[in-house]
Amino acid sequence: MLKQENKKENDMLPEKQILVVEDEPEFAELVKARLEMAGYVVSIAWDAYAGTQAILKKEFDLIILDLMMPAGGGLAILERIQNFPGKLHIPVVILTGKVIDNELKAHLSELNVSAIFAKPYNSIEFLSKIQSLLSV
């Protein structure tokens, strides 16, 4: 009976909303499936413009960005949301195939990026980081 009570309490917790901004459909769907299996509600935006619009219209608990996309990429999104202080608290995880040099890493740090993962990525480490960012 105790297990059922705990389950009911967990069922009442709000589901965490994650936005994945990624222009490669197969990769975006793979990331979405992995996150949904972990219990998250996932939305996908296919380019930087759609990603920015989604962030401004809805409250997400976490954002996952690719850096190389049409309409400016993830870096453009990060720079745009700096103008919206109400959105700066949202953890951002970079998931990209772009080589991240020290200069770019420093710039991403200035833009409050919480984590950077290179494609291909280790899904266990990735999910662990997502869980830790959302449990704070």
Q: Above 90 in pLDDT, residue 63?
A: yes
Domains and CATH numbers, the chain: 15-134 (3.40.50.2300)
Task: Sort 92 into a burial class: Cβ within 10 Å, 0-12 / 13-18 / 19+.
Answer: buried
Distance CA(42)–CA(11), nearest Å, equals: 18
Q: What is the pLDDT of residues 17-52, one digit of tens each?
A: 999 999 999 999 999 999 999 999 999 999 999 999
Residue-wise pLDDT tens digits, 83-130: 888 898 999 999 998 888 999 999 999 998 999 999 989 999 999 999
Taking each helix axis from N to C end, the angle separating 73-81 and 102-110, rounded to the nearest 10 degrees, works out to 30
Q: What is the pLDDT of residue 7?
A: 42
Q: Are 22 and 66 in contact (CB under 8 A)?
A: yes
The pTM assigned to this predicted structure is 0.86
Type of residue at 7: K
